[in-house]
Copies of this chain bind each other. A is one copy, B any other.
């Protein structure tokens, strides 16, 4: 197979390496694909072809390096030593002295950094158009927003330029752009991956996320990235277990009719219902759940005190350089100036009450399955109204981090017009492995090609334990 025709999913790339492919050639191919994409909005800065080639040439022995030769990108609100971190705001940029631990772990595992990707400024937005740089084009339809805030990361993976990319996720920045570009978006349990070296949006809610072509690839990256970091006060010891077999009969919560909204878009609705058919086809039980509590939590994220947390993150800069910030972003964040300290506690109490109210749902289901977003929104929609379409995109994402949940955005059945849709699986903190196990099968069931590459999804390895069917059943009964 020619290198140009090679899928960059991990399984395919690893097999090619096993056959003698040179990682330096892969670096060259990455740059060729980037040039061919003709989209100056994806990357804000490249590590440099020379540097990436040198890194590839110096890789050495693959043994014990699970990401050996895998090219990746990093959202430009995460530090890489020697490169500027812009957070999508050139006047805010600083030269990073240290590489964020999440990135350093990937490099130690043999992954090759290609560059830093574009984003909604200060990771505030779910659209990808809130950037002073060229807007990355949606990998399927340039009229549709790429999604954000991790726009460049999602598009770089969807277009097959890199094998995976790091994003961040506070409100859905690691999921919405995955759903809009037919790639996997893994938003881990809060604290599983160190956020040291990440420009905060809401520091108590931020996490590093992963975009990849396949679920197993994203999960492999998480396994490498994750680890308790005593120097990050919000790091937690979260066990990330290897992917195992999926329980035979999972209970999957689906929003009730009142909670299942698509902004009137029948194509998106039909695509989601087709994905629900896949869920049922996998032997899972679809359980309708009252979604109103989750929606109320979602509304808190921008209607409550956490806007003040975004303000706190860039307070000095914003107070002194307001004109450097995109007007819509500035207006959102500055609104926190009129918020009193006591209001924050009122918001916390409200969240605590809502969290308690939705808690019983988790005893009835193993995970939620929701659309990743109600419907795709166009660049023109956002030009006409920069706020409401953005809020709509967060309908199924905004509540997740506030409730300390883990989530996985998986490509869902395509819409009838050929645009992708997405399903997001959600479950309590620590359930990353559970979500990935089922997500992998759901992705497989949809029978989709990877991102916008046209490549087929490689078959996942058999993850069932090596036992007779009878024995397994016995164990379940026992």
Mark A residues whose CB is within 8 Å of B. 203-204, 230-231, 233-234, 305, 308-309, 311-312, 315, 336-337, 339-346, 348-349, 352-353, 355-356, 359
Contacts and interface: CB of A to CB of B under 8 A. Distances in A.
Given A349-B233, A352-B233, A342 B308 contact: yes
Nearest to A305: B341
A309 B233 contact: no
Given A348-B204, A349-B203, A342 B311 contact: yes
Contact of A312 (B233, B309, B345, B356): B345
B336 A341 contact: yes
Q: For A309, A345, A346, which residue has the most chain B Cβ atoms within 10 angstroms?
A: A345
A342 B337 CA distance: 8
A342 B352 contact: no
A342 B317 CA distance: 14
Q: For A231, A234, A341, A348, which residue has the most chain B Cβ atoms within 10 angstroms?
A: A341
Q: For A230, A312, A352, which residue has the most chain B Cβ atoms within 10 angstroms?
A: A312
B342 A340 contact: no
Contact of A315 (B231, B311, B342): B342
A122 to B, nearest CB: 14
> Secondary structure at chain A's binding surface: helix, strand, loop or mixed?
helix
| Stoichiometry, copies per complex | 2
Contacts of A315: 342
A355 B232 CA distance: 11
A342 B233 contact: no
Contacts of A309: 342, 345
Nearest to A356: B233
Contact of A344 (B203, B337, B344, B356): B344
B204 A356 contact: no
Nearest to A234: B352
18 contacts: A203-B349, A204-B345, A204-B348, A233-B352, A233-B353, A305-B341, A305-B344, A308-B341, A308-B342, A308-B344, A309-B342, A309-B345, A312-B345, A312-B346, A315-B342, A340-B340, A341-B343, A344-B345
A353 B348 CA distance: 20
Contacts of A353: 233
In the complex, the 9 A-B pairs of residues with the closest C-beta atoms, listed nearest first: A308-B341, A233-B352, A339-B341, A312-B342, A344-B344, A312-B345, A233-B356, A308-B342, A309-B345
A346 B233 CA distance: 13
Nearest to A304: B341
Nearest to A354: B233
Nearest to A353: B233
Contacts of A204: 345, 348
Nearest to A309: B345
Contacts of A348: 204
Contacts of A340: 308, 336-337, 339-341
Contacts of A344: 305, 308, 341, 344-345
B203 A345 contact: yes
A287 B383 CA distance: 64
A353 B356 CA distance: 27
A438 to B, nearest CB: 28
Nearest to A308: B341
Given A340-B337, A340-B339, A308 B233 contact: no
A230 B355 CA distance: 11
A140 to B, nearest CB: 38
Contact of A342 (B230, B234, B336, B356): B336
Q: For A233, A234, A342, A349, which residue has the most chain B Cβ atoms within 10 angstroms?
A: A342
Contacts of A342: 308-309, 311-312, 315, 336-337, 339
Given A337-B340, A339-B340, A340-B339, A345 B308 contact: yes
